[in-house]
């Protein structure tokens, strides 16, 4: 149960990173929103109905003169029996195309720990990867990629691409799987705990991820994201379908300069 819970919550708790997943994308035709702001902090509750399963914190660091930005994410489970997981992830992205340059993950499940590291050289298209069983494994001819945070940033950046569908490819160590994102023309008013439960208009995004042979908790890969319909394009809720109901990320707190949500 613990591994299934972690798979679900980290998959679209902005956190599909437990698989060391990578993506490349083709979302280049539309005008992109400038969503990166140093010091931004988004705090989400991971919920199943009224039950809180965990917390996700996403923080954006400074942008370097070379155009790279660091993003940090922490996930930990609620105080529930048999759930004692904490994961810390630090990424470095190029803000020019929102693709990954380096990746570091540290996870603790009870007394068990796991570490993953990756770096990417876009000039040579080489990926160097290490974990507890592999050291400095080099893969060649790798296209620019993202991870879960990168997908989240791309969802925000391209949220104005109304009526367009973009295909991403999630790459594990062994294979690539498609992720389809549809930027609908639907507007949905969502109550946001981070804004004292005020309702704000959000853009609705529909996604489908190929889960392969893994279907934790009966997940079929379908998810829906609700992104604030403004320049900041902040995801206020993400729902991922499971066999019975859905597991949701709900925005509990936000720190972003000059963010005036449209309410």
83-87 long-range contacts, CB within 8 A, separation 24+: 83/2, 83/5, 83/53, 83/54, 84/109, 84/110, 85/2, 85/5, 85/6, 85/54, 85/109, 87/6, 87/10, 87/15, 87/17, 87/18
**Structure tokens, 226:** 């609700």
**Rounded mean pLDDT, 62-69:** 95
Convert the pLDDT of each residue in 93-120 to its tens digit: 999 988 889 999 999 988 899 999 999 9
Percent of the chain topping pLDDT 70: 80
Determine whether domain 2-255 maps to CATH 1.25.40.
Answer: no
What distance lies between CA 244 and its chain's CA centroid?
23
DSSP state of 40: -
pLDDT at 15 over 50: no
For the cut 60, the answer to whether the pLDDT of residue 3 exceeds it is no
Rg (CA), the chain: 17
**Mean pLDDT of the chain, nearest integer:** 84
Largest CA distance in the chain: 50
User: Which pLDDT band holds residue 213 (cuts at 50, 70, 90)?
Assistant: low
Query: Tell me, what's the pLDDT at 5?
Result: 40
Distance CA 58, CA 44 (A): 8
Element (H, E) at 207: strand 198-209
Phi, psi of 12, rounded to the nearest 5 degrees: -130, 35
Give me the pLDDT at residue 262, please: 62
pLDDT in tens, 147-182: 888 889 989 999 999 999 988 776 666 666 777 899
* Ordered alpha helix ranges (H), 118-187: 148-157
Q: How far apart are CA 178 and CA 248, in angstroms?
A: 22
Whole-number Å distance between alpha carbons of 161 and 214: 31
- Residue 239, CA distances (Å) to 72, 213, 221, 245 in order: 22, 21, 11, 9
Q: What is the pLDDT of residue 16?
A: 39
> Coil, strand or helix: which one is 148?
helix
Beta strand 22-24 with 235-241 is: unpaired
Q: Give the pLDDT confidence score for residue 174 in this predicted structure.
A: 63
Tell me the DSSP string of 169-198. EEE-SS-EEEEEEEEEEEEEEEEEGGGTTE
Max mean pLDDT among 16-20, 127-131, 142-146 falls in: 127-131
81 vs 254, higher pLDDT: 254
The answer, yes or no, to whether residue 20 has pLDDT greater than 60, is no
Name the residue ranges covered by the structural domains of the chain: 2-255
In DSSP terms, which residues pair with 209 in a beta bridge?
179
pLDDT level of residue 214 (50, 70, 90 thresholds): low
User: What pLDDT is attached to residue 9?
Assistant: 41
């Amino acid at each position: 149960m613990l591994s299934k819970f972690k798979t679900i919550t980290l998959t679209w708790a902005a956190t599909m990173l437990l698989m060391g997943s990578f993506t490349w994308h083709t979302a280049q035709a539309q005008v992109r929103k400038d969503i990166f702001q140093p010091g931004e902090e988004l705090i989400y509750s991971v919920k199943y109905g009224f039950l809180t399963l965990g917390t996700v914190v996403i923080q954006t660091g400074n942008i370097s003169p070379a155009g790279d930005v660091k993003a940090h994410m922490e996930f930990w489970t609620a105080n529930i029996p048999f759930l004692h997981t904490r994961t810390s992830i630090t990424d470095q992205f190029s803000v020019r195309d929102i693709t990954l340059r380096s990746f570091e993950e540290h996870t603790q499940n009870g007394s068990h720990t796991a570490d993953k590291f990756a770096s990417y050289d876009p000039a040579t298209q080489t990926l160097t990867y290490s974990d507890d069983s592999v050291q400095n494994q080099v893969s060649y001819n790798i296209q620019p990629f993202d991870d879960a945070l990168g997908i989240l940033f791309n969802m925000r950046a391209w949220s104005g691409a109304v009526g367009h569908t973009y295909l991403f490819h999630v790459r594990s160590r062994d294979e690539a799987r498609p992720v389809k994102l549809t930027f609908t023309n639907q507007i949905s008013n969502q109550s946001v705990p981070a804004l004292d439960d005020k309702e704000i208009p959000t853009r609705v995004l529909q996604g489908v991820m190929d889960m392969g042979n893994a279907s934790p908790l009966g997940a079929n890969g379908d998810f829906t994201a609700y992104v604030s319909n403004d320049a900041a394009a902040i995801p206020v809720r993400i729902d991922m379908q499971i066999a019975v109901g859905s597991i949701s990320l709900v925005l509990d707190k936000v720190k972003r300069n000059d963010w005036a949500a449209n309410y």
